[in-house]
Amino acid sequence: MIDVAWARSEYPLLAEKTYLNSGSYCPLAKRVKLAFEAYMDERLAVGANWDQWVLKSDEVRSLVARLLRVEDDEIAVTASVTAGLNAIASALDFSGDRNRIVVTDFEFPTNAQVWHAQAPRGAEVVHAKPGPDGYISAEAFENLIDDRTRLVAITHVCFRNGARLDIPSIVAMAHRRGALVLLDSYQAVGSIDIDARALGVDFAVGGMLKYLLGTAGIGYLYVRKALIPSLVPTVSGWWAQADIQAMDITRNNPHPTARRFEAGTPPVVNCYAAAAGLQLILEVGTDAIEAHIRALTRYCLDRLADIGWPSVTPARDDRRAAMIAIPSRASGRLMETLLARDIVTSHRDMNLRASFHYFNDDSDVDRLIAALAELKLDFGPA
């Protein structure tokens, strides 16, 4: 059970606002603010703090490894999800018969654009599409994954409608057919429990500005240990070398661990904030967070049904995570109208997005639903 009063006491903003926007950017926790300040204090006191660059990025690496239940050596600390995707793309060969990449129509743009950008290197991208129920089931991949497939690069949870894919079934199918699987967990990590090894994925990317309670400008990449030696990224740099201090300009000597997928100076100040956010998530516990959010999103769906405003997020517990997407004929104006009432949401396409975290409770849902009930005539579904 999560002590919501304790949880809320970390976030001054929650005294003012009903915050349902962690799927875009989390509110700032006091301890994350203190972590930013610790960086500034150190700079004031010592100037050059090179040792901390290494220590803080290694701390983030270890915390992400604990979170995903993998080894530190399987984690690269990156500047963004996009940077991790590009590092992997650069290490894959698309010149032969296995040149296909399967993505879905649920991807955040970057996890499709990076793969389409590999076309000059021989890659061909195909898209798994939603069925009549709007969901992309594992069956949708049946005819797309075959012996031409190099990689299946898929989102864990869709940023537009909150649908959560059936990752174990898709991974099993991909592996049976000799394809690798990359999971974009940005809309999931921190809001649900993720065991990367149990899921069986080969790569996973995510970042720290949403449910991980950190900041923008930092991400991670998980690479399954057995794959690391065979993958040599051509997107690289001095922080990816076996020995950073060697300063050897005569050759590329990639690090034996997932550090080979890093590039230049780590996002130092962001590492401070990310570490504080990750510690908080681990302290609360991803099992407890997932259970709390499942109950809240269920309550939100039930209350939406009460006011006759359906959601496009799957009702099945195993097919959603923290976001409830609510169709509206004017989703942007609906978001602004709610903001004027101190209810913070976001919108994409024709959906209002309400995303929940461990510091939300039923009273937040009640406030949202009361406002929507009043606004339904002007902003209901098209």
Q: Smallest gap, in angstroms, from Cβ of residue 25 to ligand PLP?
A: 9
Cβ proximity to ligand PLP: between 130 and 381 the closer is 130
Contacts of 45 (CB under 8 A, 6+ apart): none
Residue 157 Cβ vs ligand PLP, minimum distance, rounded to whole Å: 7
Rounded to the nearest 10°, the torsion over CA 157, 160, 163, 168 is -30
Q: What's the CA gap between 21 and 40, in Å, rounded?
A: 28
Closer by beta carbon to ligand PLP, 8 or else 210? 210
Strand partners, 347: 352
- Closest to ligand PLP by CB, 184 vs 290, is 184
Report which residue type is found at 228. Answer: I
45 by DSSP, 3-state: which? helix
Q: Of 80 and 257, which CB lies nearer to ligand PLP in the complex structure?
A: 80
Dig out the tokens for 123 from the structure: 């890659």
Residue 125 main-chain phi, psi, to 5 deg? -105, 130
Q: Residue 213 in contact with residue 192, Cβ under 8 Å?
A: no
Please check whether residue 201 is in contact with residue 182, taking contact to mean a CB–CB distance below 8 angstroms.
Answer: yes
Show the CA angle centred on residue 183, arms to residues 179 and 188, nearest 5°: 160
CA distance 220 to 162: 22
The nearer residue to ligand PLP, 216 or 242, going by C-beta atoms, is 216
Q: How far is the CB of 220 from ligand PLP (least distance, A)?
A: 10
> What is the three-state SS of 333-355?
HHHHHHHHCCEECEEECCEEEEE
CA distance 241 to 239: 6
Residues in contact with ligand PLP by CB under 6 A are: 80-82, 108, 110-111, 155, 159, 184, 186-187, 207, 219
Minimum Å gap between C-beta 153 and ligand PLP is: 11
Least distance between ligand PLP and beta carbon 323 (Å): 10
Smallest distance from ligand PLP to CB 375, Å: 26
Tell me the closest approach of the beta carbon of residue 207 to ligand PLP, in angstroms: 4
- CB of 205 vs ligand PLP, minimal distance in Å: 7
The span from the CA of 150 to the CA of 105, in Å, is: 18
Nearer to ligand PLP, 219 or 277 (CB): 219
- Using DSSP's 3-state secondary structure scheme, residue 308 falls into coil
Q: Return the number of the residue (57 or 99) whose C-beta is nearest ligand PLP.
A: 57
Shortest distance, CB of residue 85 to ligand PLP, whole angstroms? 7
Calculate Rg over the CA atoms of the chain. Answer: 21
Of the two residues 85 and 343, which places its CB atom closer to ligand PLP in the complex? Answer: 85
Cβ-based nearer residue to ligand PLP, 80 or 241: 80
Rounded to 10 degrees, the C-alpha dihedral 85/90/96/98 comes to -20
